[in-house]
């Protein structure tokens, strides 16, 4: 893990940022539900790197957390980020902590159905979630579930 962190971090303990001048000979090598993957030659490092460019499209499923786009990181926060829908009730994990146990059975059944619908949608888009857990299922004010997929 330290090796990975050391490779990603540049000066001032910030994630390395790359621009068009440092990346040459872009070739698309794959596509997925979130974006396209390219191979490019890095000028200074002298070897090929992989770059994932996220699609601009927005998911349209009421059971998947909406991703609006990317934050460029030029203002108060210098790092880039993901701009997504805000869910007022937090996650199912937060709900269980607040209730000091599992939700009532009828609510649990509805949440299970909503999570399954969100996962079915992601799979129809060719996306394999790989990290489905209570913290990654967010809740609306009305306690409807949305799968967080990023």
The residues assigned a catalytic role are 131
Residue 33 near residue 49, CB atoms below 8 Å: no
Residues contacting 5, CB < 8 A, separation 6+: none
Residue 58 near residue 68, CB atoms below 8 Å: yes
Dihedral of CA atoms 139, 72, 52, 6 in degrees, nearest 10, equals: -100
| 52 annotated among ligand-binding-site residues | yes
Q: Which residues are annotated as a binding site?
A: 52
Q: Which residues are annotated as a binding site for ATP?
A: 52
């Amino acid at each position: 893990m330290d090796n990975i962190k050391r490779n990603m971090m540049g000066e001032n303990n910030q994630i390395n940022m790359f621009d068009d001048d440092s990346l040459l000979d872009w070739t698309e090598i794959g596509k997925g539900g979130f974006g396209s993957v390219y191979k490019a030659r890095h000028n200074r490092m002298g070897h090929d790197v992989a770059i994932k460019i996220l699609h601009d499209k927005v998911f349209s499923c009421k059971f998947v957390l909406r991703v609006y786009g990317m934050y460029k990181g030029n203002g108060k926060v210098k790092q880039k980020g993901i701009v997504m829908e805000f869910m007022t009730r937090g996650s199912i994990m937060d709900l269980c902590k607040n209730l000091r146990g599992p939700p009532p059975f009828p609510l649990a059944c509805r949440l299970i159905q909503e999570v399954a619908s969100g996962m079915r949608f992601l799979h129809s888009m060719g996306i394999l979630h790989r990290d489905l857990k209570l913290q990654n299922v967010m809740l609306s004010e009305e306690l409807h579930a949305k799968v967080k997929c990023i």
